[in-house]
Structure 1
Amino acid sequence: MKVVKRAGVLENLDIRKIRTVIAFACKGLRVDPLELEMDAQIQFRDGITTKEIQQLLIRTAAEKVSAEN
């Protein structure tokens, strides 16, 4: 699967980078990083932009936090 970087360059999706960002973003929150990753991956598609990935992760995390409260 390819992602479109900010500069418009296509790159292979590197799930390790996403896991690093998710782990950092989940610190101090009651959100399971693995669960967030799994839920977000369902919506990934070939040609997704890094900005869309960020927005998707934020939206998924917000939904999880809201659902727990």
Structure 2
Amino acid sequence: MKVVKRAGVLEDLDIGKIRIVIDFACKGLRVDPLELEMDAQIQFMDGISTKEIQQLLIRTAAEKVSAEN
């Protein structure tokens, strides 16, 4: 699967990079990083931009936090 970087370059999707961002973003929150990653990956598609990935992760995390409250 390919992602479109900010500069418009296509690159292979690197789940490792996404995990680093997810782990950082979840610190101090009651959100399971692995669960967030799994839920977000369902919505990934070939050609998705890194900006769309960020927005998807934020939206998924917000849904999880609000669902717990």
TM score, norm. by length of structure 1: 1.00
Runs of at least 5 residues in structure 1 that lack an aligned partner in the other structure: none
RMSD value, Cα: 0.1
Count residues in correspondence.
69
How far off is 1:65 after superposition? 0.1
What is the identity percentage for the equivalent residue pairs of Structure 1 and Structure 2?
Answer: 91
Q: CA offsets, 1:12-51, max 9 Å, x none? A: 0000000000000000000000000000000000000000
TM score, norm. by length of structure 2: 1.00
Secondary structure of 2:11's counterpart equals: strand
Work out the CA distance in 1 between the residues paired with 2:6 and 2:18.
15
